[in-house]
Amino acid sequence: RVDKFTATTAVPSGNLGTFFLTNVRLVWHADAAESFNVSIPYMQMKSTSIRDSKFGAALVVEVMKRCGGYVLGFRMDPAEHMKTVFKELSSMHAIYSREPIFGVDVNVQQGRQRHLDPRADSAADDERFEQRTCRER
């Protein structure tokens, strides 16, 4: 899923760009130069808010200190549009803060057993690998 919002200005640079909300991150790029961009996974966000700035109301995203500690601002007109984006962004941030998606499914019980004795199944795994490799040849 990707939501695209055009006519989004980065604050304070004033660069006009396009803002995207995906299922795992927000992305913004300048329309004049797509290499001028930012991509922030929801898991790295500290907070989201709408604040007043010298340029008017801005959607503000704070990144965790360990991930750079950035504070980024974006202006969107009309204000209702920015409120809609804020609501969606806040929702996605809350979901990923509570139940992050790391890209793989992990069974904690199996993982713990493996780490207790990493050699426990290695002989059986090696044998299965050898048999499969020999059959494929």
How high is the mean pLDDT in each 10-residue block of the chain (137 residues)?
A: 88 92 93 92 94 92 95 90 93 86 68 50 51 40
**How, if at all, do strands 56-63 and 2-11 pair?**
unpaired
pTM of the prediction?
0.70
Q: State residue 103's pLDDT score.
A: 73
Question: What's the token pair of residue 29?
Answer: 């790029």
Helix (H), strand (E) at residue 17: strand 16-22
Q: State residue 129's pLDDT score.
A: 44
**Rounded distance between C-alpha atoms, residue 96 and residue 1, angstroms:** 15
Q: How many other C-beta atoms lie within 10 A of the C-beta of residue 10?
A: 21
Question: Which amino acid belongs to residue 44?
Answer: Q
Question: What's the token pair of residue 31?
Answer: 């329309």
Q: State residue 107's pLDDT score.
A: 67
Residue 107 burial class via C-beta count within 10 angstroms: exposed 0-12, middle 13-18, buried 19 and up = exposed
Q: Please provide the DSSP assignment of 15-76 as one string.
A: -EEEEEEESSEEEEEESS-TTSEEEEEGGGEEEEEEEEETTEEEEEEEEPGGGT--EEEEEE
**Rounded distance between C-alpha atoms, residue 78 and residue 4, angstroms:** 15
Give CA angle at 48 (74, 12), nearest 5°.
Answer: 25
Q: State residue 105's pLDDT score.
A: 72
